[in-house]
Chain A
Amino acid sequence: MKYPYFPGCTLYTKAKKLDDAGRECSLKLGFELDELKDWTCCGATFPLVNDQHITMSGPTRILADTKDQGNDKLVTLCSVCFNVLKRTNNVMRTDEERRTKVTDFIERDYNGEVEVLHYLQVLRDEIGFDVLKEKVVKPLTGLKVACYYGCLLLRPVKEIGLDVMENPTIFEDFISALGAEPVEFPYKIECCGAFQAVHSMDIATRCSRDILNSAKNSAADLVITTCPLCQFNLDDRQPEIQKSDNRFAPIPVVYFTQMLALALDLPAADLGFERNLIDPLPLLKEKGLVS
């Protein structure tokens, strides 16, 4: 089974490990991520005002390309790309006036025919977490995992519809299928600070600190995420957090595909853990998950 795949810019650079592991795992699970031809940036933010249409031209062109290349689905791994593409697609489906404006401008014919899916959705709805569980080679037994959703994977719930907004469980179900133990922590859907990291780093630091402390209070060994921006904030802010709080013990923050790859027994050397600021390898060695 082939799924048309939109990696997005970050997955070609900073979040390469999210991309690599995702592609490799799919082959092990019996499907292939077929990269879309000539894709461009998704725009990285969905327009926040109703009369702004120009930022929708990029994602609409991507969606129209997907359709024209003979596909009815489009899979993403990045929460930001997923959010922008899914919401743009909703506008194309439901709002004739805005659709006409955007498609006239880019001179394409598109009415929301494509279904935008997140990789987690493919695992849950098309492969099935029970099947995934059977395919696990090396269960992540004894690993306590904080499943951090962030905002863009879930909100706004009426447009995204991936899971219940206030108490989602898809991520916990996923990590349970891999044999790890999800921990319940109240900050699992709080904002990581997002783009605040660009101009007021202290806000992002504070947000990340609260999330990480909450995860650690729930006895988590490790945090997983789907979002490159969340991963960046949560991982890279930790030295800064330590400066203001010397009792703060670092905690690894990895992509969910890295844990999937580990459970499917892909070599740890290929998983890109060396790119994590807080190295998860000592923890994984201690738990006997890598040698």
Chain B
Amino acid sequence: MGEIVELNSVIDGEPVTCACALGDLTEFESVPVDRRVMVIGGGITGITAAIDLGNAGYQVMMVERLPSVGGRMLQLSETFPTLDCAQCTLTPRTVESGQHPKVTLKTSCEVEELKGEPGDFTVTVRQKVTYVDWNKCTGCGTCIQKCPSKGISLFERDAGRMTAIYTLSPQAVPNKPFIDADRCRYLTRGKCGVCAKSCPVGAIDYNQQESFFEARVGAIIVATGFDIYDWKNKMPEYGGGKIPDVIDGLTMERYLSASGPTAGKIVRPSDGKEVKEIVFIQCVGSRNPELHKSYCSRVCCMYTAKHARLYKHKVHDGQVYVFYIDIRSTGKGYEQFIQQSVSEEEIIYIRGRAAKVFQNGDQITVQGADTLSGRKIEINADMVVLAAAMVPNEGAQELADILGIKCNDDGFFVEDNYKLSPIETGHQGIYIAGCCQGSKDIADSSAQGSAAASKVQVLLSSLRRQNQEAV
């Protein structure tokens, strides 16, 4: 019974290597199909679901689009309302998912096709190229040190530049590098090859081809997460991405992160000067039915207050302004966090949407209105941080079509019943959890991850019981 089949390990008669092969597939196949689960998405939601299911004795295959797991949470600096370090809390879980005997990681992979029925799905997965043979790679990092190309990193966003061969983060799981083909000198211009020369085990493979494999599983959990609203192309009023010192909240996380490109120093992207005056704008693209997204992104009020506080902890004489429509702090301990930010950290909250942001000589001018005093306000700042709306990750609609589930008008997956069965979808055996279902914070995401894991167990045990009764 070879449930995992290499479909195109030979292309045009030429044997090619496959980037996958990490993780013990025989282990995954060793249990009946109704004890196997696929989790799509390796963020905090998917990891929580995978570890829960693994601990319950199920074999889990976690399919992640990027080369390593951890998702958005790994990019965060510290998390509200307790200000504990995201990496410190998440890394034990990413490592556990990588080492768990019952969890098989399939990174750089995307789901292509689904067949079968609840209890016995067959999923075709596309293994994308990383240009590094991960079976040979020891993760020593020599190639990363030697690579001469520098450019935008998927992980650091606009906050820092990265070599063309890299791991998403220093704590990447699996800790194996990949090559960004768009920036690699060898792959774009045919010259360089420094990483191949420096690799002590000969793991670099510029000719690697993508491949496909099939996996039979009993149920599927979708936890594909979120992205940030495309404010750079859609919001010229906030500079349209052309003002270097206007950044979004996720990029700010990288600046605030002690392991980020600036080692936690808040400096201006344009000239590296320390930021003394900073403006945060909430509801950027959210709650704007006329032009952008009509929904509230739910986490921005909290993370903006967190950003403001972390900034004040680093720049004691810095001045912080926050433009807000109203404050939504509905979680446990959240309201106290906001009140503390206002009263103890001397953060100035201005009720009003900022109308416009533009470069004004050395600084950035933010125009807005204080709707409480009814006055027009102009603030000159060194840096502006936009709390841009959360949107579903790219490709959500395509995945929904493959899996036979639905997206709403905003692209979030549609649950069976928002109140009573928020994890189930219209397709039995397929469950949704985390931000792909709607914007939410880490606490809610991990709760949904665990909920999805238990829903899967309910389904698969009941199917087993039915089968036994039938026999």
Interface residues of A (CB under 8 A from B): 158, 164, 166-167, 186, 217
Contacts and interface: CB of A to CB of B under 8 A. Distances in A.
Given A186-B359, A186-B360, A166 B235 contact: yes
Given A158-B290, A186-B359, A186-B360, A164 B365 contact: no
Listed residue (A164, A186, A217) with the most chain B CB atoms within 10 angstroms of its CB = A186
B236 A167 contact: yes
B290 A167 contact: no
Would you list the 3 A-B pairs with minimal beta carbon distance, nearest first? A167-B236, A186-B358, A166-B236
B237 interface: yes
B356 interface: yes
Interface of B: 235-237, 240, 290, 356, 358-361, 365
Contacts of A164: 236
Contact of B365 (A158, A167, A186): A186
B357 to A, nearest CB: 9
Contact of A167 (B240, B359, B360, B361): B240
B interface SS class: mixed
Given A166-B240, A167-B236, A186-B356, 11 more contacts: A164-B236, A166-B235, A166-B237, A166-B356, A167-B237, A167-B240, A186-B358, A186-B359, A186-B360, A186-B365, A217-B361
Contacts of A217: 361
A250 B240 CA distance: 32
Nearest to A164: B236
A55 to B, nearest CB: 23
A217 B361 CA distance: 9
A32 to B, nearest CB: 36
10 contacts: A158-B290, A164-B236, A166-B235, A166-B240, A167-B236, A167-B240, A186-B356, A186-B360, A186-B365, A217-B361
B359 to A, nearest CB: 7
B388 to A, nearest CB: 16
Contacts of B360: 186
Contacts of A158: 290
A283 B240 CA distance: 34
A160 to B, nearest CB: 14
B377 to A, nearest CB: 14
A217 B359 CA distance: 12
A167 B240 CA distance: 9
A162 to B, nearest CB: 15
Contacts of A167: 236-237, 240
A158 B236 CA distance: 16
B61 to A, nearest CB: 46
Contacts of B236: 164, 166-167
Nearest to A185: B358
Contacts of B290: 158
Nearest to A187: B358
Listed residue (A158, A164, A167, A217) with the most chain B CB atoms within 10 angstroms of its CB = A167
A151 B361 CA distance: 25
A164 B365 CA distance: 21
A217 B290 CA distance: 33
Nearest to B240: A167
Contacts of A186: 356, 358-360, 365
A287 B170 CA distance: 59
A158 B289 CA distance: 12
A166 B361 CA distance: 20
A203 to B, nearest CB: 10
A173 to B, nearest CB: 16
Contacts of B359: 186
Nearest to A167: B236
Contacts of A166: 235-237, 240, 356
A166 B239 CA distance: 9
A167 B356 CA distance: 11
B372 to A, nearest CB: 21
B368 to A, nearest CB: 13
Contacts of B235: 166
Listed residue (B235, B356, B359) with the most chain A CB atoms within 10 angstroms of its CB = B356
